[in-house]
């Protein structure tokens, strides 16, 4: 018979997962308390939240596609976010020192393996992508303006 504490924890984790369509699973067991505070602070700035939970509880609430990533016997951190790239970038800083390891994730209903989460971390952030889009959209207009200016120069000269 499950204890009342486990039932409350299960309800809390279930609520956490249901509110987020995308999340990253990672193993934070090698992080010191200062590093965990730094991770949580960085995730907060990126609009993400981290919740550590037992594997047995997570296996009950995550979709079936993600369950194969929940192996081992450690506590797993669940990072719920709407900006997967921003959260992955924050976590990626700590994977370089082998303090944190990715388990997998879920993005818009599709399961992500470790490679998929690492690819997300390597993408440019939203602001950079917006700048790239503006440059792409402005390039034809800039070229057109230069052609017009050259035509005007030739007509005057």
**What digits encode the pLDDT tens for the residues 82-123?**
788 888 888 888 888 888 888 888 888 888 888 988 998 888
The reported pTM is 0.74
Q: Which fold has domain 4-123?
A: Alpha-Beta Plaits (3.30.70)
**Alpha helical stretches, state H, the chain:** 4-18, 33-45, 55-61, 84-95, 114-122, 126-156
**What digits encode the pLDDT tens for the residues 33-58?**
899 899 899 889 888 888 888 888 88
> How far is the C-alpha of 155 from the C-alpha of 136, rounded, in Å?
30
Residues in the chain: 157
Q: What is the pLDDT of residue 1?
A: 45
Q: How many CA atoms lie within 13 A of 41 on its CB side?
A: 6
Domain ranges across the chain: 4-123, 124-157
């Amino acid at each position: 018979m499950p204890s009342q504490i486990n039932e409350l924890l299960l309800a809390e984790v279930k609520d956490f997962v249901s509110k987020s369509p995308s999340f990253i699973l990672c193993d934070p067991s090698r992080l010191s308390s200062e590093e965990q505070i730094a991770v949580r602070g960085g995730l907060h700035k990126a609009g993400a939240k981290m919740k550590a939970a037992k594997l047995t509880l997570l296996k009950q609430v995550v979709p079936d596609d993600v369950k194969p990533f929940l192996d081992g016997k450690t506590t797993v951190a669940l990072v719920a976010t709407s900006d997967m790239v921003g959260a992955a970038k924050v976590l990626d800083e700590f994977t370089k020192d082998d303090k944190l390891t990715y388990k997998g994730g879920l993005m818009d209903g599709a399961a992500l393996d470790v490679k998929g989460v690492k690819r997300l971390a390597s993408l440019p952030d939203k602001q950079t992508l917006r700048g790239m889009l503006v440059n792409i959209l402005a390039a034809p207009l800039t070229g057109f303006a230069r052609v017009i200016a050259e035509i005007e120069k030739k007509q005057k000269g």
